[in-house]
Amino acid sequence: MVNEYELSVKYLKGNFNYKNFCKELDLLVDLRSKDEELWRLAPEITRYIVYHSLFNKLFKFNIIQEVGNETKDDIEWENNQNKIDSDYFDKKNLKLRKWMFNKLCKGTLFEEINSNFKLIYQFPMSTYESLIFSKFNKRYYHFSFLPSYDDSFTKVITDVASCIHRVSNYFDKKLSKKEFFDKILEDHRRDGKLIKGRDDHFFEDINNEDINYWHLLSYDNFDEDYWDRQGEEERLKMKKKGLIK
């Protein structure tokens, strides 16, 4: 690890090791296929940006290891992780974390830090879903970003330290917008069936509820139709009340 550093936008832009970062993303996607619970416990992706701006080695932070098999690199990482995380979460670095939050909402965080990355698609829904291209390894990464809210659930906490930000998958060829959205729907199905009339709100634009990306791109991709189960009479009642279209 470098002896002196500062957690600032300028420092990250000047020291970010994007090649090791991309290798880290590959390892995280592989981890998900082997142990999704451990993958969910991994730090948010913004912290990996910090880690790979301070270390020039690939430490494989989330590889499953047996106790006693640590290498010198593993020990170096363990000795420094607490300090790095303490600095990252300190209120003095709130400005950096807010900057990251705003760029994530726009989908431009990665390309702002390094020109290796390019935003291909972003769907700003309850969870922001983005497809980001990495030029050096010609790989497309799927990121999911879920902001947090205050106790009233009305105000977004504009701090990445309070958010969930993960790499979900990668692809070695460019997907169409519909193909990418179908991958998002596949992820949604990990928690159960995809049901029309019940799950629609998950896919509304976060800034404009009249835009629903599921309706626009892939509404024929579903498992059940909630309104079929409720019956046509109930559907007409809900339509008159303006609750459905």
From 170, 158, 126, 132, select the one nearest 145 (Cα to Cα): 126
Burial letters for 211-242: b for 16+ Cβ neighbours within 10 Å, e otherwise?
Answer: ebbbeebbeeebeeebbeeeeeeebeeeeeee
**pTM to 2 decimal places:** 0.88
- The confidence score (pLDDT) of residue 167 equals 97
pLDDT at 65 over 60: no
How far apart (Å, rounded) are the C-alpha atoms in residues 72 and 80?
13
172 with 161: CB under 8 angstroms? no
In this predicted structure, the answer to whether residue 41 has a pLDDT above a threshold of 80 is: yes
In angstroms, the CA 226 to CA 230 distance is 6
Long-range (24+ apart) CB contacts under 8 A made by 143-151 are 143/45, 143/167, 143/168, 144/168, 144/187, 145/104, 145/105, 147/101, 147/105
The whole-chain average pLDDT of the chain stands at 89
Reported as a single tens digit per residue, the pLDDT across 113-168 is 999 999 999 999 999 999 999 999 999 999 999 999 988 878 999 999 999 999 99
**Greatest alpha-carbon span in the chain:** 70
CA distances from 80 to 13, 50, 146 (A): 21, 13, 28
Distance, CA of 62 to CA of 60 (rounded, Å): 6
**pLDDT of 187:** 94
The reported pLDDT for the residue numbered 234 is 61
CA distance 46 to 97: 9
| Pick from 214, 181, 210, 171: nearest CA to 196 | 214
Has residue 223 got a pLDDT over 80?
yes
Instruction: Inform me whether the pLDDT recorded for 82 exceeds 70.
Output: yes
CA nearest neighbour of 39 among 56, 54, 51, 24: 24
pLDDT in tens, 161-217: 999 999 999 999 999 999 999 999 999 998 889 998 889 999 999 999 999 999 999
Q: What per-residue confidence (pLDDT) applies to 179?
A: 98
Lowest pLDDT segment from 37-51, 125-139, 225-239 = 225-239
Instruction: Enumerate the H helices of 44-199 as residue ranges.
Output: 45-54, 72-89, 94-106, 109-113, 177-188
Evaluate if residue 66 carries a pLDDT over 60: no
